Structures are given as structure tokens and as C-alpha cells.
Chains A and B, each alone.
Chain A
Amino acid sequence: MEKRHIITVNPDAAQAFSLHTGCGECPTSCQSACKTSCTVANQVCIKEQKA
């Protein structure tokens, strides 16, 4: 169906959230640029990065 009123930025969202669940190989958020305000969503899944 052609959408005229709603544009989905990431139609792959539902799958991306669930892939490689819980392997624990991803970076630790506090080891990057934040040391006082936690952020996790800017990290790339290490398995996705390889794929």
C-alpha cells in the first residue's frame, strides 16, 4: 500500500531489535565517550557490523 501520510524511517526496526539477542559481545557504553550520562542506542551490534 502506498503511504501518503506516514513515512517509516526504519521499516526493518522490528527485526533489528531482535537479532543476535544477548550475545554480550557489544561494547560497554561507559567505555566510549560518556562517563556520566548513560547511552546505549548509539552503539552498533558487533554481529551486525560483521554481517
Chain B
Amino acid sequence: MVHTFALHDLKLALDVESGALHILDDAAFCAVRLLAAGIGRQEVHAKLQAEYGKQTASQVMAEIEAAEEQGLLFSVSRRVDLATDGAVKALCLHLAHDCNLRCKYCFAGTGNYGGARGLMPLDVAKAAVDFLLQAAAGRKHLEIDFFGGEPLLNFPVLKETVAYGRQKAEARGKKLKFTVTTNAYNVPEEVKDYLNREEISIVLSLDGRREVHDRMRVTPAGRGSWESVLQNCRQIVAGRGGDNYYLRGTYTRHNLDFCQDVKEMVGHGFRLLSLEPAVLSPAAEEALQEEDLPVIFAEYEKLAALLWEWEEAGQKVYFFHFELDLHQGPCAKKRLLGCGAGSSYLAVTPDGKLYPCHQFAGEADFCVGNVKEGITAPEIRRRFAAVDSAAKAECAVCFARYFCGGGCHAAAWHQNRDLARPYALGCKLHRKRVECGLYLQAKRMLAKTGR
């Protein structure tokens, strides 16, 4: 499969199976599009000749054939062994099912996941570490993400868990990476210092402009949180030399002009950014709708141009969903297996129960076990392991299938009640982001080679 598209000043072709990206001139773009649509070579050659002349037509067809011979265009489908050994290598540790904010788009029901508010006891957190080290089998690189609710509400347990995890991991010859995802609303100095000193990766939630952020991210009393959050984010990022963080925002249909929010973030000195579409019930006032897509697509294209403008000026901004690695990226197996939710990645709730990921927390039908007894419902894990992107009909015909891993299982389930049916709106957004990421890769290559 070959996907052709034009974006700003470039015409591009992605050879899906090899992952090769090509920049095309008008004649080559015309030829590749026709061939991709199933038109025969002779007919394509004739059309080119009529429109671009004999010499150009011959050159273009010869270049296409050369790329094909190198396995970089119209390459055949690859066979990938997707069997897994069942190892768990990452846990999302819900240190708190409680929060000091009441964000209106929160998938966790303002932090309590529809249940009682509470914190994870230390013995559960330690048991989770033990479970991970045991379930990781031969894996060396392991991860724990402190999540909530607001995980910093349970800071003493976070600290103890890091110390315990590092000691236990070292004893087993493993490397354990910690990340904390925080709303950054209330981060005392000692907590900031600790997170920076211990090099805990951090994901900070800020939606961009004050009015956008404060519309959604409010305190229990209904007040906006922007000012405190911004101040804390700036201090935390400065304290770690501007590295090892992501500033993560969410956009809704209230701020489809989200380039303004990216500009706001950059204006405050942030360089590692993520801005994600809110995934909500379609009935929600803030939920993105199909009719919003043209505006969102235009905004993503505008953002790609903006990012390139900054990069050219020596101010590179990393936008998480546009950062594609075309040279040293993941292998085909990783690309098709995706996030690993339910198989290599599990979430742990404060009571020690295990779920396929943070977005299934508290859903009894998806509880796969607990940290003390281990996996008690392996059939649920098998269901998740079976829905890799190779098994999804929608993915088989999608050019982005090696970029998204088949999409988010939770979105598929919550929107369609079917793990094997990806969330269609999310797929459309993802495809546009992939195009923008490819565009930036092409621009970098052209700039690097002086073309």
C-alpha cells in the first residue's frame, strides 16, 4: 500500500510496508497516485507523457522502478510474528483515587473512577513492585507511572515506592524507570526538589491559554487552576534543566484553535509538548464531533507549519504526536502490538487490583487479578493480546497502521463496546497527525541536505 498526500509545499508518498517516505515532484506524484489506484503501468506512462513530455515520463517511471527494486515503494506486506511471552513490563500505579481538581473532561470521574476516594497504601505499592519484577520475566527495562487522580496527594508512598523499587530492581539486574503524571496544582518545594533530584520523568497538565485551561481544570470550589499550575510547571521544568518532562494539554471542541494554546505553552518557555484530543461520550458538550474534523485538520496543518518555522529559527519544539522516528523507530512487531495494554502493561488501583490499563480501572469485568495473587483472569489478558492492529479490519486498509499500534483499546471499548473496532474519530485524527509528522521529517531532510 502507498499513501500519497500533499501538505503545504510538499507532495509525499509513504510506502506503508517498508516505512519509506518519498518527496515527489508533480510528475512523480501523479504517477505514484495513479499506480496506487491500480492503473496499469503503460497507461500511467502514457498519461505522464501526455502531460509532462516523453523524457520526464521515462525518468519518472525509471525512478519508480528503482525504488521498487530497493523495496522502498509498492513493497509487499510483511509477515510479523506477533506471539508474546506474556511478560508484564510496565505498571500504571494509581497512587490516588482522589484529586485536588475537578476537571470537567476527566475520564476518571474527577479522580475517583466512579468509586470511593482514597489513597494507595504503601504495602500495596510495594506488592505492585514485587509483582512487576516477578511478571517481567527476562525483561530488563521496566516502567512504573505514578498516576491518579492526583498521585502527588500520596507523595510519601511515592517516595517510599521509588526507594523500594530501585533497590529491588538493582538486586535483580533490572532498570526501573519512574514517571509521574500530575496536574501540578499543588507541588510543594520539597516535592519539586525530590522529583528533579531523583530524575523522575514528569508529565505536567496544562491546557494552554488561561481561559481554555480554567474552563475545564477547576478546583472543587470551581475556581480556575491556571495560575498555580503554570507557576509550578515553570519551576519544575527549570529545576530539571528543561529536560525529562512533557507538558501535556487536552483540547476539546471549545478550543479547536489549539495552535494558540501551543503558542501559549511555547511563550512560557516550554519545549516538550503534547496536546491531545479529549475522548468523551459523543453526547458531552465538550466532545469532538465529526463535523469538527475539517477545522481540526486545518489546525494540525497550521501547527506543523508553525513548528517548522520555529525549528528553522533554531527554536525546536517537540510536539509528541508529530515526532516520528523514521530511522531508528520501533520494530514492526512493536508497531503492530501497540501500547501493550492488558498484556505487557497493566494498571493497579489503590486496593491492589490489576486492570488492562488506567482507563479500565474499576470496571469489574476487566479486573485481571491483584498484586498479591497475580493474574487470576488470564482470559481477559488473552482478549487484549488478540486485538493487535494486524487483527483489526479497519487497520488492514489504513496507511497509519505502523504508527499507532491499532489505536487505544480503551477508546475502542468505551466508544464501540468492541476491542477489535478502533475509535473511528480518533483514527481520523491520528492519520492527520501522522501526515503532519511525516511532513516535518521531509522538511528536516531537505534542510539537512540543502535541497
Contact = CB atoms under 8 A, between A and B. Distances in A.
B19 A16 contact: yes
A33 B338 contact: no
B291 interface: no
Contacts of A20: 331
Given A20-B331, A22-B331, A39-B403, A13 B19 contact: yes
B331 A36 contact: no
A38 B330 contact: no
Interface residues of B, number: 96
Interface residues of A, number: 46
**Secondary structure of the A side of the interface?**
loop
A15 B402 CA distance: 15
A44 B325 contact: yes
Contact of B28 (A6, A28, A34, A46): A6
Contact of A29 (B24, B84, B405, B434): B405
Contacts of B89: 24-25, 28
Given A38-B339, A43-B329, A49-B328, A9 B345 contact: no
Given A10-B20, A16-B327, A30-B345, A5 B27 contact: yes
Nearest to A7: B23
A39 B246 CA distance: 15
Contacts of B87: 24
Contacts of A30: 90, 92, 145, 339-341, 345, 357-358
Interface stretch (B72-80, B188-196, B212-220): B72-80
Given A5-B24, A9-B22, A11-B72, A41 B324 contact: yes
B248 interface: yes
A14 B339 contact: no
B417 to A, nearest CB: 18
Contacts, number: 238
A48 B75 CA distance: 24
Contacts of A32: 179, 203, 246, 320
B344 interface: yes
B411 interface: yes
Given A40-B334, A44-B325, 13 more contacts: A6-B25, A10-B19, A10-B20, A11-B72, A14-B20, A14-B72, A18-B78, A21-B80, A26-B334, A31-B92, A31-B177, A32-B203, A44-B330
Interface of B: 15, 18-25, 27-28, 56, 59-60, 62-64, 66-67, 70-72, 75, 78, 80-81, 84-85, 87, 89-90, 92, 107, 139-141, 143, 145, 147, 177, 179, 181, 203, 246, 248, 250, 272, 274, 276-279, 320-321, 323-335, 338-341, 344-345, 357-359, 402-408, 410-411, 426, 429-430, 433-434, 437, 441-442, 445-446, 451
User: Nearest 4 A-B pairs (CB), nearest first?
Assistant: A33-B246, A33-B274, A28-B90, A48-B328
9 contacts: A6-B24, A12-B327, A17-B78, A24-B89, A30-B358, A31-B145, A37-B276, A37-B408, A39-B404
